[in-house]
Structure 1
Amino acid sequence: MTRPARPLERLSLGDIDLRLLRVFMTIVQCNGFSAAQASLGMTQATISTHMRHLEERLRVRLCERGRAGFFLTDEGHQIHAACRDLFGSIDRFRATVGDTAGELSGQLSFGTVDAMVTNPALNLDRAIGAFHRMAPRVTLEFNVAAPQVLSQGLLSGTYHVVLMPAPERPVNTHSQPLFLETQKLYCGSLHPLFAVPDVALTPERLAAQAFAGRTYMQRLPICGLDFDWQAATPHMEGTLILLLSGAYIGFLPDHYATAEVERGRLRALAPDRVSFEDLFQIVYARQSPSRAAQALAKAIADHCTAKPAG
């Protein structure tokens, strides 16, 4: 029988409780115990032990885990929301102390979509290197997520700075356009269209193919084509795997697809007619952003070599 929830105002939080709560936050972010092992550097048994201790401390069941999968209880959702507020306040306090002392310190959480490492215009690795040299006392947490997750995380305080496509931008944030990314339609070498000349790729023929889209995109016509959505994934790597299977066609950033095109495993379909550009932006809180957040955003903007028009 579950005991009554312990009034939070009567719970005295110590260092061990904060550590347990951070473990809980990581489990939720990774959507499960197994997936959290690499991020936490712990075995699944150790993670289970930590969660059992936390639930005993709080006297509530935070999550269910088993064959049915991982999901939060109602109490787990409430505690997770409280954790976001708690750690957001701690991070803001640390940033304020660092700003007051005239140094960049504390923890900074940065998020971006995937497939950025192959973008020659971004130079994200150089930007992060420059930021570290400028702010060696800042602990940088770097995550990859879908645009909606980044937007929600910026609002909740999970992320302090995000790099994502427009027009996704949370309210009360500052954004700076960075670059345009070209997306082309591709198929794998095992797909029936791989050897078909572009001139024969009519809109009707392309629209009739099984299409792999993104889970966060609206199922609206793209480049004037009403595709037959039969698969979806939030990440570019997932799209690439689906295309290489030979079962689907779909869009990828041209810089991300280049290596597989050169290997002969991918082919752009009618690129002169079927392609579009995504505008990418760097975004952070408009009200009271930390100096570290502003410094990282500036470093990313400074190292981006391709500026969008306007």
Structure 2
Amino acid sequence: MTLPAMHVTNALTELSAPEHEVTLHIHMEPSDAVIRGVMDGHLHVGVVPAVNLPTSLEARHLYDEPSYLYCAAGHPLFTEDDDMLSGEDIAQHAAISPRYPLPVEARQAHDGLSLRASASDREGAAF
């Protein structure tokens, strides 16, 4: 929601203006469920990562979103200087494996991690 390039929030504001007489229903689902919903007509539109999209869908690029490796306050690496951390340092700690679509390069970045949990979306991983 805080990405400047994400114009979805601007579009929602415009659509919800009184003269449009539109009722919006926003529902968060894993990418595969959103794709199924659009394909079967249950959803009018969906926003998902542009990874392995069915060719039968009309897709439009909305924005690029960078991904980073995070840890929370209280984690042993939280106060460490990022530039001083090696892959071995990071691999000593449990990490979360994403179960949502990612480009090959992003998937490869997870190869050296100690994956001990998984999440169906970024918000779940943040929790």
Distance (whole Å) between structure 2 residues aligned to residue 202 and residue 235 of structure 1 = 26
State whether residues 207 and 227 of structure 1, in contact with CA within 8 Å, keep that contact through their aligned partners in structure 2.
Answer: yes
Cα distance in structure 2, aligned partners of 1:178 and 1:217: 16
TM-score, scaled relative to structure 2? 0.79
Aligned to 1:163: 47
Q: 1:217 Cα shift?
A: 4.8
* 2:125 counterpart (197, 220, 239): 239
Q: Distance in 1 between matches of 2:114 and 2:123?
A: 20
Aligned to 1:195: 79
| Shift of residue 162, structure 1, vs aligned partner | 0.9
Asked whether the equivalents of residues 100 and 121 of structure 2 are also in contact (C-alpha less than 8 Å), the reply is no
The structure having more radius of gyration, on CA atoms, is 1
Are 1:154 and 1:170, in contact at CA under 8 Å, matched by a contact in 2? no
The CA deviation string for residues 58-88 of structure 1, in whole angstroms up to 9 with x for no partner, is xxxxxxxxxxxxxxxxxxxxxxxxxxxxxxx
User: How many residues are treated as equivalent by the alignment?
Assistant: 123
Corresponding position of 2:20 = 135
Among 48, 63, 69, the alignment partner of 1:185 is 69
1:175 maps to 2:62: no
Post-superposition shift, 1:184? 0.9
Partners of 2:107 and 2:49 lie apart in 1 by 17
Q: CA deviation at 1:129?
A: 2.4
Structure-2 separation of matches of 1:217 and 1:230: 18
- Unpaired segments ≥5 residues, structure 1: 1-116, 242-310
Q: Which amino acid aligns with 2:20?
A: A
Q: Is the 8 A contact 1:146 1:216 kept in 2?
A: yes
Q: Which has the higher strand share?
A: 1
Match of 1:226 among 112, 115, 118: 112
Per-residue CA distance 1:201-247 (angstroms, 9 max, x = gap)? 11222223211122235794217x42111111223332222xxxxxx
Structure 2 distance, partners of 1:126, 1:217, is 25
Q: Distance in 2 between matches of 1:151 and 1:194?
A: 36
**Structure 1's 156 and 150: CA in aligned 2 closer, same or farther, altered over 3 A?**
same
Task: Tell me if structure 2 keeps the 8 A contact 1:155–1:170.
Answer: no
CA distance in 1, matches of 2:30, 2:126: 16
Within a 5 Å distance, the mapping from 1:1-310 to structure 2 comes to 117-133=1-17, 135-136=20-21, 138-217=22-101, 220-222=107-109, 225-241=111-127
AA paired with 2:9?
Answer: D
What is the RMSD computed on CA atoms of the aligned residues?
2.4
3-state SS in 2 of match to 1:128: helix
Q: Secondary structure at the match of 2:15?
A: helix
User: TM-score, normalising length from structure 1?
Assistant: 0.36
1:145-188 deviation digits (Å, cap 9, x = unpaired): 11111111111212111111112423311111121111111111
Contiguous gaps of at least 5 residues in structure 2: none
**Alpha-carbon contact 1:207-1:228 (below 8 Å) kept:** yes
Whole-angstrom CA distance in 2 between matches of 1:198 and 1:238: 24
| Change over 3 Å in CA distance of 1:144–1:126 after alignment to 2 | same
- Superposed CA deviations along residues 106-134 of structure 1, whole A, max 9, x for unmatched, are xxxxxxxxxxx222222423211222346
The one-letter code matched in structure 2 to 1:131 is L
